[in-house]
Amino acid sequence: ENVLTQSPGTLSLSPGERATLSCRASQGESNNYLAWYQQKPGQAPRLLIYGASTRATGVPDRFSGSGSGTDFTLTISRLEPEDFAVYYCQHYGSSPLYAFGQGTKVEIK
Amino acid sequence: QVQLVQSGSEVKKPGASVKVSCKASGYTFTTYAISWVRQAPGQGLEWMGSISAHNANTNYAQKFQDRVTLTTDTSTSTAYMEVRSLRSDDTAVYFCASYYRISYYYGLDVWGQGTTVTVSS
């Protein structure tokens, strides 16, 4: 079973600062079926990044994804007030089909 | 536009069953699969299973294999998730989700609004 571990658990930053979120998979694969989601309280998750580095439709270019194999990163270049939320990574594989990390909360410092 | 609309909140007693619906619109239902993801209060996202709307093939997370059944009704473009033998730790928001603009292995880019299921005696 592929387990995704996100770090840190919480990131306390100010608007305008850079956020760097990490996601490590227990099983490395040659594909880059890694996605990132943003979730705000009371809302469904929103897909931000897929294929490790491709922004989904309508996602601002301050969001970028990188990485391969077992180590992936989501970077928010300059935090806007609406970016404070919880972020999840997710990998598609054989077991489970969609594995999610436990989430990183980006909070206002 | 592409939309998944879920049924309303439910309150159930331990041991009961619940069936949540997810109605798709704005795209050809049988082209894609529907996945179900749950989120316990204050917790993260947990994939439960997926069903192909084309041929009804299912894939369940091992944890839910014995208590969860996914079905579809292509005549109404609706997917269903039933959980049996409910326990208090099944209290969660249940989301249906699918892919539309991307391939299934890239993630889930369409989500329902979520259905809150509360299990309490």
Q: What is the pLDDT of residue A1?
A: 86
Asked if B46 lies within 8 A of A100 by C-beta distance, the reply is: yes
Tokens 């990485």 belong to A67
Number of Cβ pairs < 8 A linking chain A and chain B: 74
What percent helix, strand, coil does chain A show, rounded to 5?
A: 5, 50, 45
pLDDT tens track for B43-75: 999 999 999 999 999 999 999 999 999 999 999
Q: What are phi and psi of B64, to 5 degrees?
A: -110, 0
Q: What are phi and psi of B73, to 5 degrees?
A: -125, 100
Confidence tier at A105 by pLDDT (50, 70, 90): very high
Q: What is the pLDDT of residue A95?
A: 82
Amino acid sitting at position B29: F
Which chain B residues have a beta carbon less than 8 Å from that of A97?
A: 35, 47, 49-50, 59, 61
Q: What is the pLDDT of residue B87?
A: 97
Q: What is the pLDDT of residue A30?
A: 73
pLDDT at residue A29 above 80?
A: no
Residue in A35, A44, A103 closest to B95 by CB: A44
Separation in Å, CA B4 to CA A75, B9, B26:
29, 16, 9
Q: Which residues of B63-94 are buried (b: 16+ CB within 10 A; e: fewer)?
A: ebeebbbbebeeeebbbbbebeebeeebbbbb
pLDDT tens track for A30-64: 788 999 999 999 999 999 999 999 999 999 999 99
Q: Kind of pairing, strands A104-108 and B3-6?
A: unpaired
